[in-house]
Amino acid sequence: MEIDGVAPPVAEKPLFEPLKAHEMSDGKVQFRKVSVPPHRYTPLKKAWMEIYTPVYEQMKIDIRMNLKARKVELKTRVDTPDISNLQKCADFVHAFMMGFDVIDAVALLRMDELYVDSFEIKDVKTLKGEHKSRAIGRLSGKGGKTKFSIENATKTRIVLADEKIHILGSFRNIKIARDALCSLILGAPPGKVNSKLRQVTARSAELF
């Protein structure tokens, strides 16, 4: 509203610096704990520096191994740039505990659209004794050939941990790999699964 032809002064917008991770949580330190299964204790000791370096130096998250509780503990620091880094690091460490190599699991820190999906053979079909052993054999193939071909075709990484199956990749690629693995569990021959896999991946490559 103008009075006597004089325009009111325009208030300047305040400039606020972006909040840091510790300020978003009212200065409270955020924690995550990841349990270490007995069979991953020795590999963790061997690969500790490969895990520690990207978490501490690149993501600015404190990490330590609690020997008594047998857990990897993560917490935010004052210089942590983003609060989401804590969950990314927890996912990275958890993926290593599932059996993924550090070189594959570290992609979870660098790419936002990667996930880990897990399921068991009994979720697809109830198998016992030799039938279950043969299903696990079909998933792997001779010398791991079938598993590698599915990984290469779908750009995923697969871990076969007895009855449990873990897949690391993008949402769409995980679905393609999971469908192929489910077909193998249900008894489909690897040759037929591979040919269908090639058709699906070729079709998806055309779409995207």
Q: Which two tokens stand for residue 142?
A: 């001779």
Residue 136's nearest CA partner among 155, 117, 151, 158 is: 158
Distance, in Å, from the CA atom of 198 to the CA atom of 177, rounded to the nearest integer, reads 11
42 pLDDT more than 90: yes
pTM above 0.85, yes or no: no
H helix and E strand count, the chain: 11, 6
Tell me the per-residue pLDDT of 86-145, one tens digit each, with 9 for 90 and over.
999 999 999 999 999 999 999 999 888 899 999 998 888 888 888 888 888 888 888 888
The pLDDT value recorded for residue 3 is 57
Q: How many C-beta atoms surround the C-beta of residue 42 within 10 A?
A: 9
